[in-house]
Structure 1
Amino acid sequence: MKLASIVPKWSPVHKLSRRLRPLPDLDPVEAGPTPQVVLPAELTELAAALPFTSLGGPAAWPVVGSAGAFIGVDRTRLDQLFGRLRERFGDLYRLKQPLRGTETVVAFSSQDAEKVFRTEGIWPIRPGLYPVRMYNQMHGLNNGLLPGNGQEWSDLRGTVQQAFLRANALQPFMHQLETSAADLVAALSTDRDDQRRLKRDFMQHAQRATVDVIQKVSCGSTAFRDPDERSLLLHNIGNFFSLTADLEMHINTWRYVATPQWKRLTHALDYFNLMADKWITTALSQDTASEPNMLAMLLEKGLTRPQLKALVVDFFIGGVDTTSMSLTCLIYHLATNPECQERAYQEILQSAPPPGELIAKEHTGRLNYVRACVKENLRMNAPILGIARKLGKDIVLGDHCIPKGKVVFMVNSMTSRSGSEFCESSRFLPERWLRCPAAEGAPAAAASAPSPFASLPFSHGPRMCIGRRLSEHELLVFATRILQRFRVEYSGRPLRLKMQLNCKPDAPIQFTFVERGAEQAVRQQERAAATA
């Protein structure tokens, strides 16, 4: 919608707007190389459904849309807004975006999520991140995997997926993960006060460790040689998420004029692209025979340098704050559920190798409870607020027909904590993810099998997070090495998350790390006796 069409012709704004060119719609129309076909059974369902116009939602007004619902709302707690609207309108309602007038359907049930994912096509359309797309368009850059759609996205995804999601994709990088875990444990040990409590926020340690892993896997470099460089990268990542959330939530004046927030965002994206060039240069200069790196491998598979650059920017956006937040929440849940921590520790004593040896595939296969803790943490504290898709054909959600081209926002971070999806949903219960919970002596609440679409921390289908294997293994290795060395305690206020584009703790989390010297000594004696 052009600005000139929604303001009076006598207004000075009208004259100005005729000289401004709004950002074109960057979402493709089709979810594949050919239009999606509506099947006969779907036609019957659509004919019986209620019309889209009957779907409820907050009042929408010309120009401002549903922005009135956001007045007085804490911008960092969008979950509270969505929750209040859910209480009024149910598990499915619609919001009208300011200025552009497009409508978004907000969905909470796993059944609706399943319907969206099963009909999304081979090129799922992911709306959003429009400021990034506009920046890339202005600078002639590849959109990468996160903002990208259509053929551009498909060409990159097909190559990258083989490298990241195959069964043994992480095998060449296990040593890098272990050294990063050892560095994290050493940093936690030295950052304690006389009461063995962390002096700094644990999230800061987690962010440094996560950046370290991404850099080692991506370009083989040992670490950031300049601590200020790493701090600057983390600062710009934080700015990116807060600024992008603000720009996308409010009336999009940045589409027409360069607002102060838009300028600050472009500075962050400038830095990301500068660092991406540096990482690629470093990766291509490494001896990959002795130290493999992912970027050199992808270049050999046919990716161009512009595609590699976009991929590294994706790593910055999608791989740092998400994993470090998940690690922070995982350690929090283990610290506040000592019985779970003890069970995980006993499993680690029996199944994990000592520090200095690689946690290989045969070890992770026996760390069932630790892996269940990782999954339960991701259920309770999803790294992102929700998942959006632009429909490639008409479908029925709930009782309503949702037309092709509408955006559906699935608030998975709230679905996964809903009592209608999980028994005792507010309780940290790793046993619910074990293969035979009853045989493990788990509470009855863990026995019910949830919908596979009730908890989707890494999304689903063709656009599932490309870093899923790396992130899950990173959480497993870091948690294992931390619990091997320390008993973790926490006495602060309950964890609360800020929820915008991504999620993160709203205040510093400072754990107490108590050495496990006695347990380690006993284990070493047992090992010595077994080899004697």
Structure 2
Amino acid sequence: MKNLIGRSQLVQQWRRGITSESLTTRPSIESTTSSASASELQAKPYEDIPGPKPLPILGNTWRLFPVIGQYTISDTARISQLFYQHYGKITRLTGLIGRPDLLFVYDADEIERVYRQEGPTPFRPSMPCLVKYKGEVRRSFFGDLPGVVGVHGEQWREFRTRIQKPVLQPQTVKKYITPIEVVTNDFMKRIEDIKDEKDEVPADFDNEIHKWALECIGRVALDVRLGCLGGELAPDSEPQKIIDAAKYALRNVATLELKAPYWRYIPTPLWTRYVRNMDFFVEVCMKYIDAAMERLKEKKKNGAEVHESELSLIERILAKESNPKMAYILALDLILVGIDTISMAVCSILYQLATRPVEQEKIHAELMRIVPDSKIPLTTKDLDQAHYMKAFIKEVFRMYSTVIGNGRTLQSDMVICGYHVPKGVQVVFPTLVTGCMEEYVEDAGSFKPSRWLKDANEQKLHPFASLPYGYGARMCLGRRFADLEMQVLLAKILREYKIEYRYNPLKYKVTFMYAPDGELKFNMINRNR
């Protein structure tokens, strides 16, 4: 992967630690399925899948131990790349204390086949700590409405079926372009306030981006302005506490999940704080959803008819559902996974823009054609025409995917890459790696937003090589709102500012997301002065 991994050096590090078919000829899903029985007969045993060898008792969990281990949690992206380099298109990681085997699959055709054969309730392995919180610690609150994050089976399907129409309906999303633009205008005023005499923003600019993201999500999920962008936030202010809690909850998921899970049996300090953070989120959601309920009652007072098109997302759910917990829990899930995810994605996109001035100027020129007068509010038609800007976002996600991988827990036995894989194995699809494989993406090492445009001359681009939002029934529920928020932000900022980064290049690492590691001291230079 360009600028990220030195191939030979990483292979040497790995070896010290442990003793191309054409896309145009790939078989159709139908033909692959029809020959499934034959492939099962010819499949090699699961135990023959290559991978790092576990030690007695310690398994492979020792590799993440302090001092004696080979890796830290932030190494996740590097480990994923190393597995592919050392073992090929399929790698088995066994012996992880307290969790099933992990199977890394780097074959986009096989990834497609797994996705297309999954049933109506796909099992996405994620956040056992959240499962324990919802299903045990706060069972009395969540009951039979556990939400969509960290939930599986019929409970997940029932909840998602009841709320996905208003969340994913394009008309609902379009209603928020003006509210999101108002929030973004406030963010731009904030940029002007915090810049120094050299037009440089402070080193903690990522926290300002988190404030913008929280304000946007609060407007969508809680139907309120939280007041994140009015000035410096006190450490004990509610908005800053929400930001801190979201960062802590998400960025410690990997630690809770991948290291020895003592928290499942005893209340470790990390687990205790995680529960405290989650309790705080629940209280915040209940407070603001209850206020939205009161506003809806006011609208309906005296028998006045309120048309559905006039209602916000939360009001539509409250009007349709008799149990307000539907709105509480949806808001909780949107905030929990949305703040850090969108914020880190924006940090990565802005960094790539700042270090790619030619591409930045192309987007600026496109925006000047679409919105010559910055005082005129944006419309969905404007965003629809910003083809190159949206292509740039997709290319950032391909080469520097904020989510380093997707996955499924197999609900039945399957043959993958010629091996028999039993039910219950967690299959990982490392989109950060497959999105940068020459076999699936033409000239994969080059940053080329044009490859995503309709007139891209049919460049090779496997549809399952890069899936930042996942695929199928468990595709990211909030993706349309996330796209809207990022597109509005970039359209406003790049129309007004030239962004520069004048320091040494930053490396990327994993916290919960994959993002630049370091101070984002951008120079935000006004274009109109």
| TM class, shorter-length | 0.7 to 0.9
**Alignment check: 8 A CA contact 1:57 1:94 kept:** yes
User: Structure 1 residue 206: deviation in Å?
Assistant: 1.5
**Alignment check: 8 A CA contact 1:487 1:515 kept:** yes
The whole-number CA distance in structure 1 between the counterparts of 2:480 and 2:95 is: 35
The whole-number CA distance in structure 1 between the counterparts of 2:88 and 2:511 is: 22
Q: Unmatched 5+ residue regions in structure 1?
A: 1-37, 439-446, 519-532
User: Structure 1 residue 121: deviation in Å?
Assistant: 1.0
Question: Structure 1 residues 68, 83: closer, same or farther in 2, change over 3 A?
Answer: farther
Alpha-carbon RMSD across the aligned residues, in angstroms, is 2.1
User: Structure 1 residue 211: deviation in Å?
Assistant: 0.7
The whole-number CA distance in structure 2 between the counterparts of 1:98 and 1:398 is: 23
Counterpart among 259, 264, 276 of residue 255 in structure 1 = 264
1:170 counterpart SS class: helix
1:168 counterpart SS class: helix
**Residue-pair matches, total:** 473
User: Structure 1 residue 43: deviation in Å?
Assistant: 1.5
The whole-number CA distance in structure 2 between the counterparts of 1:398 and 1:423 is: 23
Question: What is the match of residue 19 of structure 2?
Answer: none
**Alignment check: 8 A CA contact 1:220 1:291 kept:** no
The whole-number CA distance in structure 1 between the counterparts of 2:337 and 2:524 is: 29
Moved more, 286-295 or 161-170: 286-295
- Cα deviations by residue, 1:40-84 (Å, 9 ceiling, x for unpaired): 532222112212111111112344322234313132121112222
- Cα deviations by residue, 1:326-375 (Å, 9 ceiling, x for unpaired): 11211221221111111111110111364454322221221111111121
- Residue pairs, 1:339-358, within 5 angstroms: 339-352=358-371, 354-358=373-377
Counterpart among 54, 65, 69 of residue 60 in structure 1 = 54
Moved more, 238-247 or 458-467: 238-247
- Cα deviations by residue, 1:100-150 (Å, 9 ceiling, x for unpaired): 362121112222221221112111001231111111122112431111111
Question: What is the match of residue 38 of structure 2?
Answer: 44
Question: What is the match of residue 441 of structure 1?
Answer: none
- Residue pairs, 1:488-503, within 5 angstroms: 488-503=499-514
Moved more, 422-431 or 409-418: 422-431
- Cα deviations by residue, 1:502-530 (Å, 9 ceiling, x for unpaired): 22332121110111116xxxxxxxxxxxx
The whole-number CA distance in structure 1 between the counterparts of 2:76 and 2:126 is: 16
The whole-number CA distance in structure 2 between the counterparts of 1:354 and 1:56 is: 59
1:382 counterpart SS class: coil
**Alignment check: 8 A CA contact 1:131 1:244 kept:** yes
Question: What is the match of residue 486 of structure 2?
Answer: 475
1:307 equivalent in alignment to 2:326: yes
The whole-number CA distance in structure 1 between the counterparts of 2:365 and 2:262 is: 56
User: Structure 1 residue 98: deviation in Å?
Assistant: 2.9
With normalisation by structure 1, the TM-score equals 0.84
Question: What is the match of residue 218 of structure 1?
Answer: 221
Question: Structure 1 residues 169, 201: closer, same or farther in 2, change over 3 A?
Answer: same
User: Structure 1 residue 92: deviation in Å?
Assistant: 0.8
User: Structure 1 residue 97: deviation in Å?
Assistant: 4.3
The whole-number CA distance in structure 2 between the counterparts of 1:47 and 1:500 is: 42
Counterpart among 80, 102, 105 of residue 104 in structure 1 = 102
2:104 counterpart SS class: strand
- Residue pairs, 1:47-126, within 5 angstroms: 47-70=41-64, 71-100=69-98, 102-126=100-124
Question: Structure 1 residues 123, 353: closer, same or farther in 2, change over 3 A?
Answer: farther
User: Structure 1 residue 286: deviation in Å?
Assistant: 3.0
With normalisation by structure 2, the TM-score equals 0.85
The whole-number CA distance in structure 2 between the counterparts of 1:340 and 1:478 is: 17
Question: What is the match of residue 28 of structure 2?
Answer: none
**Alignment check: 8 A CA contact 1:210 1:324 kept:** yes
Question: What is the match of residue 439 of structure 2?
Answer: 420
The one-letter code of the counterpart of 2:206 is: M
User: Structure 1 residue 231: deviation in Å?
Assistant: 0.9
Question: What is the match of residue 24 of structure 2?
Answer: none
**Alignment check: 8 A CA contact 1:390 1:407 kept:** yes
The whole-number CA distance in structure 1 between the counterparts of 2:213 and 2:322 is: 25
Question: Structure 1 residues 79, 506: closer, same or farther in 2, change over 3 A?
Answer: same
The whole-number CA distance in structure 2 between the counterparts of 1:204 and 1:40 is: 52
- Cα deviations by residue, 1:184-231 (Å, 9 ceiling, x for unpaired): 111112211111111243322221111111111123212337942111
- Cα deviations by residue, 1:9-56 (Å, 9 ceiling, x for unpaired): xxxxxxxxxxxxxxxxxxxxxxxxxxxxx9653222211221211111
- Cα deviations by residue, 1:437-495 (Å, 9 ceiling, x for unpaired): 25xxxxxxxx5231111111100000000111111121111001001111111112223
The whole-number CA distance in structure 2 between the counterparts of 1:493 and 1:420 is: 32
- Cα deviations by residue, 1:222-261 (Å, 9 ceiling, x for unpaired): 2337942111111111111232211111111111111111
**Alignment check: 8 A CA contact 1:216 1:293 kept:** no
1:177 equivalent in alignment to 2:177: no
Question: What is the match of residue 486 of structure 1?
Answer: 497
Question: Structure 1 residues 493, 304: closer, same or farther in 2, change over 3 A?
Answer: farther
2:93 counterpart SS class: strand
Question: Structure 1 residues 358, 47: closer, same or farther in 2, change over 3 A?
Answer: farther
Question: Structure 1 residues 112, 350: closer, same or farther in 2, change over 3 A?
Answer: same
1:418 counterpart SS class: coil
Question: Structure 1 residues 160, 352: closer, same or farther in 2, change over 3 A?
Answer: farther
User: Structure 1 residue 283: deviation in Å?
Assistant: 2.0
1:234 equivalent in alignment to 2:230: no
- Cα deviations by residue, 1:152-207 (Å, 9 ceiling, x for unpaired): 11111112221122232312222111101111111112211111111243322221
Question: Structure 1 residues 468, 338: closer, same or farther in 2, change over 3 A?
Answer: same
The whole-number CA distance in structure 2 between the counterparts of 1:372 and 1:200 is: 28
The whole-number CA distance in structure 1 between the counterparts of 2:164 and 2:372 is: 30
1:296 counterpart SS class: helix
**Alignment check: 8 A CA contact 1:172 1:292 kept:** no
User: Structure 1 residue 500: deviation in Å?
Assistant: 4.3
1:505 equivalent in alignment to 2:516: yes
**Alignment check: 8 A CA contact 1:178 1:356 kept:** no
**Alignment check: 8 A CA contact 1:333 1:428 kept:** no
1:187 counterpart SS class: helix
- Residue pairs, 1:283-362, within 5 angstroms: 283-286=292-295, 292-302=311-321, 304-352=323-371, 354-362=373-381
1:391 equivalent in alignment to 2:391: no
Question: Structure 1 residues 256, 340: closer, same or farther in 2, change over 3 A?
Answer: same
**Alignment check: 8 A CA contact 2:177 2:484 kept:** no
Q: Identity rate of aligned residues, in percent? A: 24
The whole-number CA distance in structure 1 between the counterparts of 2:220 and 2:333 is: 14
2:336 counterpart SS class: helix
The whole-number CA distance in structure 2 between the counterparts of 1:179 and 1:101 is: 45
The whole-number CA distance in structure 2 between the counterparts of 1:270 and 1:167 is: 32
The whole-number CA distance in structure 2 between the counterparts of 1:301 and 1:162 is: 11
User: Structure 1 residue 418: deviation in Å?
Assistant: 2.8
The whole-number CA distance in structure 2 between the counterparts of 1:296 and 1:185 is: 29
Question: What is the match of residue 291 of structure 2?
Answer: 282
